[in-house]
Amino acid sequence: MKSVLIAGLVLGLMGCATHGGGGAGAHGMKLLRSPHSVKVTIDRFEAAAKARGLNVFARIDHAAGAQKIGKTLRPTELLVFGNPQGGTPLMECAQTVGIDLPLKVLAWQDSAGATWLGYNEPRYLLHRHGGGDCQPAVENVAKALDALAGEATKP
What is the CATH number for 38?
A: 3.30.310.70
Pair 118, 149: CB distance under 8 Å: no
Q: How far is CA 15 from the centre of its chain?
A: 19
CB atoms within 10 A of CB 1: 14
* E strand map for the chain: 4-6, 29-34, 55-61, 76-82, 103-109, 115-120
* The predicted structure's pLDDT at residue 14: 34
pLDDT for residue 110: 97
E strand or H helix at 152, and its extent? helix 135-153
Question: H-type helices in 2-70, by residue range?
Answer: 8-19, 38-51, 62-68
Nearest by Cα to 46 from 153, 139, 142, 148: 148
pLDDT in tens, the chain (155 residues): 333 333 332 233 233 334 544 333 378 999 999 999 999 999 999 999 999 999 999 999 999 999 999 999 999 999 999 999 999 999 999 999 999 999 999 999 999 999 999 999 999 998 899 887 888 899 999 999 999 999 999 99
The total domain count for the chain is: 1
pLDDT at position 60 = 98
Residue type, position 36, single letter = H
User: 88 lies in which domain range?
Assistant: 4-153
